[in-house]
Amino acid sequence: MTSQRVGFVGLGLMGAPMASNIASAGWSVTAWNRTDAVFRRLPSVQRAANVAELRNDDVIIFMLPDLPFIEEAAVDLLESWRDQPPKPGTAVVIMSSVSPTAVQLFGETVRQASSGNAVVVDAPVSGGTAGAQSGSLAIMVGATENQFQALKPLLETMGTTVRRMGPLGSGSLAKACNQLIVGTTTAALAEAAELAERSGMDVHALYEVLSGGLAGSRVLDNVGPRLAAKDYAPTGPAKFMHKDLGFVLTSAEAVGAAVPLATAAIDLYAELKRQGLGDQDLAVVRQTIANLSLAPAETPNSN
């Protein structure tokens, strides 16, 4: 990377601390966000009036909920590049969880709009808001080796585990696999909590003993306390898990892979959304399961 100018689009629960960490590492960060209030908490980040103002930055990072939001936000940017192409080597980095197939199509759109001067790299993240704040995210990158090496110093300002997974789309597929594991594990922990509590067991004690055995995991460590306490204050909206599991099913269909757990999980998270719980934390899947549970059956009359 010849300079240290970075554009950033989307300063939500994840994006704001990510942009702050980039700026703290010495990059000049200019960002656009739909609302302005967040900039009062980010004095080191300059505010852009619109996304097209980022057109001359070496790297433009998007951290919006899904690719359709990114495509909508990028309309004026791409239009400006059609009139005056960006410098060669400009990188558009998609750090949201998006469809592996759709991000490849978006890469072709960007290539055409920029006369081949800009490339799309997908680099979704895992680690939640805590990882975003501490700069310890896991970042899964879909790019050529040269593109990855050029971006690696920037990505390492946000994450401690930064890996190239393959060409464009591979990062998003890796994130889909991540979400398959996180979504099904969280659901299993929620089921165990409901079963234990309804049977008179202390869920905190259950999770403590599970963490010391084969069932121990980072998901249990991070989400378990919220599940046990029924604390559903959002660290990230649960409804996005349904979207991400959809990417698992689409990717599996494309290669003929069986994904029975993902198939069951997407139905559960669809039910979570139907219950109106989608804006709460992922741990709210426990409430979804509780709402589905039946009262204990009455003992049949022996007479």
Task: Kindly report, residue by residue over 118-135, the tens digit of the pLDDT.
Answer: 999 999 999 999 999 999
Q: Which of 87, 175, 230, 239 is catalytic?
A: 175
Domain ranges (residues) in the chain: 5-167, 173-292
Q: How far apart are CA 11 and CA 227, in angstroms?
A: 27
Do the beta carbons of residue 120 and residue 92 sit within 8 Å? Answer: yes
What global pTM score does this model have? Answer: 0.91
C-alpha torsion 283→289→291→293, nearest 10: -150
Q: What is the pLDDT of residue 300?
A: 42
CATH number listed for the domain at residues 173-292? 1.10.1040.10
Q: How far apart are CA 55 and CA 37, in angstroms?
A: 23
Q: What is the pLDDT of residue 236?
A: 86
- Residue with tokens 């869920």, as numbered in its chain: 203
In tens, the pLDDT along 60-94 reads: 999 999 999 999 999 999 999 999 999 999 999 99
Class of the domain covering 5-167 = alpha beta
Do the beta carbons of residue 111 and residue 98 sit within 8 Å? Answer: no
Does the active-site annotation cover 243?
Answer: no
Confidence of residue 44 (pLDDT cuts 50, 70, 90): very high
